[in-house]
Amino acid sequence: MATLVTRSELQSPPAELAVERGPLRSILETLVRTVESQSTTGLLGSILLLDQDGVHLRHAAAPSLPAAYSQLIDGVAIGPAAGSCGTAAYTRETVLSEDIEHDPRWAGWAEIALTHDLRACWSTPIVSRHGHVLGTFAAYNRAIGAPTDHEQELIRLVATTAALVIERDWEARERAVAETALERQVAALTDLHTLVSRLAQMHELQPKLLAILTVAAQVHDTDLGFVAVHDAVTGTHDVRASLQLPSPSLEALCDITTHDVASVRRIVIADTETDSSVYRMIAREVGFRAVHSTPIMTRSGALLGVLALQARKPGVPTPLQIQLSDMCARHAADAIEAERDRAQLRELADNMSQLAWIYDQRGLTWFNKQWHEYTGMTVEEATDGGWVALLHPDHITRVLANWHVARRDGAVWEDTFPMRARDGTYRWFLSRALPIRDATGRVVRWFGTSTDITVAQQSALALADARDQAEAANQAKDRFLASLSHELRLPLSPILMCATALEIAPEIPESLRGRVATIRRNVELETKLIDDLLDVSRIRAGTLSLDLHPVGIATAIAEAVELCRPLIEAKALALTVEPNGESVVRADSPRLRQILWNVLKNAAKFTPRGGSITIRSRVTDDRVVVTMTDSGIGITRDALAHVFDAFEQADPHITQQF
């Protein structure tokens, strides 16, 4: 059954593995339907596969195209003007036919497409990872035009994924054919199966090549042979495994064999005694009569080495023996390429700044140069838990517990801890390990890195210390403000009481009564300022409490106006108050009056002489909105974000001007 692959999944290796689990045509149809479902212009997809003759394209998947059309184009020959698909396969380039009717590449085919209401066709070649054209993916549209960027990306992704699927299908078919033929030789199949199992358990190249050579020799009923690895840089060969060949003869035989393999690929000599080549002399020295040398190549055809067998009896290898030799050479190629990949990875790992390591069931079995240079520990010392000695004693229990949980659950492991250097000092590292799984999903090893974060850790500690100091300073400041406010408030209370009593005393002359009222108002103003300081301290300490009860908005506004009246009158400001009736809210009356007074005081302070201030209130849903508008300098947009910050001023220079 085909597995659905969405656009977001087309690039992921898990999706590539998923699409392999069904019949090829079903999978290709799933890919086409996926693109069609994500197209915004209603495109119709089609996949054609290049025939083995390399000339004709065959229908593979077109679930939405008319069946009659698919039948008509089945078997179209590729060429420079063979429609979009035939041209794309021939030129190995994407072909965008935005108007089929007038595109010269569609001459002879346009009428067929137009008959089925197909107006545009955009085709891209499906190319294998080795550069071979496998087929084409085409997107048809019933309207003239070019594909959108989104559709071009979908087409590219589908072509890439289809190449992988087709390649794997072909490889699977080739394996099936080979396995069918191998069933005729049970012993050979057993040897090959055993070899594959053994190779999976080996990690070094030389034992792998020796095991491959041994099986190939058994298949050919001989005990002579060697495997040489080609160095593309120097052009030389290095013998990495051999059977029963003396050193001087082996070197000479390697030189001759590798030269001939590089020239003609496979070497088959039925009888060295009747062959005029230079093999005769070496064959007599060693004691062999026939030669069968198979080149070891990459899937793209690059030479990696040679698998050379020498038989003690004359004769040519059977087709089955040749096929088995090719399979052994394929395993040798995989082993050589894997070794080179590992060498490249080791070089990359040794040149990275992080400490890199691998952990499996045996323990810590590999690490890069940086890990060794930092710890001074060898692989032998680190295996079987020896690496635990590098952990700081204060962190061992925690780190091992977290590591145990990650290994038990097969989850990503991440931890931060100090690790000992070879000189005995400790530095902080952020360590992270990813589980590596086999085909069954079982975790077989962990790949981890450890990044030195000592500087960042020290900076974090310094920052935390600075933050603590700043917090302590703030708390000290708050305590000072609270104490200062209390001390300042004490002498104001008797002054306010006396001023209030004098203001209403009958024996005070009217000429002095106004001045006494001024004293009272200024004392009240000073008390308000001190209360603000106290409120800031209470807010920071989290001790500010509110006494909520019904408060009339008009009354609160009137009280705030009364407090600011001296400043308003002194600057000859025109004050307009437009309350919306006697709206009542649930609030803390002194705090509400304090807020209104603060806003009004700022409005009066920063409004030029002769300006105006308007106060309005209105009811909105279950809220009362109070608006104060003035003709002053206003507040900039940048300063609005800080209006509720304690002691914040937009521009001190402007404040000094007012």
CA quadruple 619, 620, 625, 627: dihedral sign: negative
Band of residue 642 on the pLDDT scale cut at 50, 70, 90? confident
186-201 and 205-219 helices, crossing angle to 10°: 180
Most confident of 175-184, 372-381, 536-545, 631-640: 372-381
Please give the residue that has the higher pLDDT: either 561 or 261.
Answer: 561
Percent of the chain with pLDDT over 90: 28
CB distance 306 to 294 below 8 Å: yes
CB distance 356 to 372 below 8 Å: no
The reply to whether domains 184-346 and 352-452 share a CATH topology is yes
Rounded distance, CA 561 to CA 232, Å?
A: 93
User: Does residue 18 have a pLDDT over 70?
Assistant: no
CB distance 358 to 365 below 8 Å: yes
Rounded distance, CA 141 to CA 44, Å?
A: 6
Please give the residue that has the higher pLDDT: either 247 or 580.
Answer: 247
553-570 and 589-605 helices, crossing angle to 10°: 30
pLDDT of residue 4: 37
Q: Which fold does the domain 546-658 belong to in CATH?
A: Heat Shock Protein 90 (3.30.565)
Rounded distance, CA 28 to CA 207, Å?
A: 41
User: Does residue 26 have a pLDDT over 60?
Assistant: yes
User: Does residue 108 have a pLDDT over 60?
Assistant: yes
pLDDT of residue 183: 62
Residue-wise pLDDT for 500-552, tens only, equals 777 777 777 777 777 777 777 777 767 766 776 667 666 766 667 778 888 88
Question: Taking the CA atoms of the chain, what radius of gyration do you get in angstroms?
Answer: 44
Strand partners, 584: 552
Write the CA distances from 651 to 440, 567, 611, 642, integer angstroms: 69, 21, 21, 12
**Lowest mean pLDDT segment, chosen from 2-16, 150-164, 247-261, 455-469:** 2-16
Rounded distance, CA 294 to CA 268, Å?
A: 9
pLDDT of residue 5: 43
DSSP character at residue 389: G
Please give the residue that has the higher pLDDT: either 277 or 54.
Answer: 54
149-182 and 186-201 helices, crossing angle to 10°: 130
pLDDT of residue 425: 93
Band of residue 352 on the pLDDT scale cut at 50, 70, 90? confident
- Write down the residue that tokens 């050479």 correspond to: 329
**Lowest mean pLDDT segment, chosen from 220-229, 379-388, 429-438, 447-456:** 379-388
pLDDT of residue 7: 44
pLDDT of residue 87: 93
Report, as an integer, the average pLDDT of 490-506: 70
Strand partners, 309: 225, 292
Query: In b/e form, how buried is each residue of 419-429, taking b as 16+ CB within 10 angstroms?
Result: bbeeeeebebb
What does the domain layout of the chain look like in residue ranges? 7-178, 184-346, 352-452, 465-540, 546-658
CB distance 128 to 168 below 8 Å: no
* Mean of pLDDT over the chain: 82
User: Residues, the chain, total?
Assistant: 658
CATH number for domain 352-452, candidates 3.40.30.10, 3.40.50.300, 3.30.450.20, 3.90.930.12: 3.30.450.20
In what order do the strands lie in the sheet containing 574-578? 574-578, 612-620, 623-630
Band of residue 481 on the pLDDT scale cut at 50, 70, 90? low
Please give the residue that has the higher pLDDT: either 233 or 307.
Answer: 307
Write the CA distances from 130 to 57, 161, 167, 300, integer angstroms: 20, 14, 10, 5
Strand partners, 297: 303
Band of residue 6 on the pLDDT scale cut at 50, 70, 90? very low
pLDDT of residue 136: 93
pLDDT of residue 15: 41
Quick one: 396 exposed, middle or buried, by C-beta within 10 A (0-12, 13-18, 19+)? middle
Residue-wise pLDDT for 141-180, tens only, equals 999 998 888 888 888 888 888 888 888 888 888 777 667 6
User: Does residue 657 have a pLDDT over 90?
Assistant: no
Please give the residue that has the higher pLDDT: either 33 or 593.
Answer: 33
User: Does residue 589 have a pLDDT over 50?
Assistant: yes
What homologous superfamily is domain 7-178 in, according to CATH? Answer: GAF domain (3.30.450.40)
Q: Which fold does the domain 184-346 belong to in CATH?
A: Beta-Lactamase (3.30.450)
For residue 649 the two structure tokens come to 């001023």
pLDDT of residue 356: 87
Band of residue 10 on the pLDDT scale cut at 50, 70, 90? very low
Residue 236 one-letter amino acid = T
CB distance 240 to 326 below 8 Å: no
